[in-house]
Structure 1
């Protein structure tokens, strides 16, 4: 991740032709196979971000979304460089409080795009999503038992026993000051995004986020992954006040 005069710049190089990557950014049926995670509003989110009110130049392979953030695709010897340049903070003051969150989100999404294309040709996926605050203040990778893995450079193989999902193995896909992305053999050659969310006015205690992307798992295997991780999270998260069920007045 680099900083330009305009705003933060994020670049990934994808081992695929420019036209293939461009199609992955323009076809909503393909976007939903790499962007974010599964939830009921995913199709609407894809439409809102990538298709509504965007400016595109299909010849130059340039796409501007939300009137601010700019994708540009560049052919290279290794495939396609995808460059995302953010508009400077202050362009939309009402979103300034979430500026860093959005930047981190783009980092996640671009690496999900790269992974989905390179490793699976944008095949269908299933995901597990976790977000909130750890009950014991700390770093998500530490709580999961992945502190040593987080010190490895991208491309390094790893094998670790995690607190949530048992043994995981694969390679370090990417890392940043706030994120660790790991390929996971046990997810059907899937991807784990483990992120630390910084302290902010809307999140004074900070937070954590995990996106687990799986491929080709049958229902029992996927349910096992989902159950292990959500059970661990339920034991270690802060329960928000609006999650607490009011038992009401006890019967007389």
Structure 2
């Protein structure tokens, strides 16, 4: 995960992001620690995702008691049982009430917010087959982003992002560096997660999204597989 937040000082912005998942901790833990499971929800497809997953989730952190994944900077992923459900938190400890962070965009915080939505979708819907993603990027307003994504069953809403399941059953997570309510164009992305599609079916999904996304943004890009993502995004 790259950090492209606009920090007011050299200090990292603290964050606390969590989601409630209809699955027991015993099902969630492998999804946070075993690369073959992490691969089915984390990030999006690009050349280098496999070694990045191993570095982030296996080689760098400490695994504590089937409950926490802890990194050297003090940040951690935590599972808390909640009856038949559990809560998964991504946390970087710090003073969240500090006013200097009020208007700060932080790519790591927003990344975890999106990735936990993808984790919840995987564990609750149990899709079969290989995960393949589309990653759309461009500069749009919040209104343009919503219009380009279209309709679906909403599953997540935050200041800078939203998610839905589209009419074809694919999870769509849309994020912007600007608050969605602001009337200004900003760098945005859309991650479309598909499962179990063959090459022809996936190509049809890509064409459908490309025809929708390219008119929305003057610098629109659509990438999948090992295609390089445009530089300088997040």
TM-score (structure 1 length as normaliser):
0.69
Q: Which of 162, 166, 169 is residue 184 of structure 1 equivalent to? A: 166
Partner of 1:100: 106
TM-fit CA distance, 1:123: 4.6
TM-fit CA distance, 1:22: 0.7
Q: Which of 204, 217, 233 is residue 197 of structure 2 equivalent to? A: 217
Partner of 1:175: 157
Partner of 2:4: none
Residues 110 and 138 from structure 1, CA distance in 2 versus in 1: closer, same or farther, beyond 3 angstroms?
closer
Contact 1:14 1:80 (8 Å CA) reproduced = yes
Which of 1 and 2 has higher RCO (CA within 8 Å, sep 6+)?
Answer: 2
Note if 1:31 corresponds to 2:38: yes
Q: SS at 1:16's partner residue? A: coil
What are the equivalent positions in structure 2 for 1:135-154 lying under 5 Å apart? 137-144=141-148, 146=150
Deviation per residue, 1:113-135 (Å, 9 max, x gap) = 1101110267521111012313x
Deviation per residue, 1:169-214 (Å, 9 max, x gap) = 4x2111111111101241xx22000112239xxxx96211100011
Partner of 2:225: none
Tell me, which stretches of 5 or more residues in structure 2 are unaligned?
1-12, 96-103, 221-229
Structure with higher Rg: it is 1
CA RMSD of aligned residues (A): 2.7
Contact 2:142 2:176 (8 Å CA) reproduced = no
Q: Structure 1: how far apart are the matches of 2:81 and 2:219?
A: 47
TM-score (structure 2 length as normaliser):
0.74
Q: SS at 1:109's partner residue? A: helix
Note if 1:72 corresponds to 2:78: yes
Residues 53 and 219 from structure 1, CA distance in 2 versus in 1: closer, same or farther, beyond 3 angstroms?
closer
Residues 182 and 145 from structure 1, CA distance in 2 versus in 1: closer, same or farther, beyond 3 angstroms?
closer
Count residues in correspondence. 197
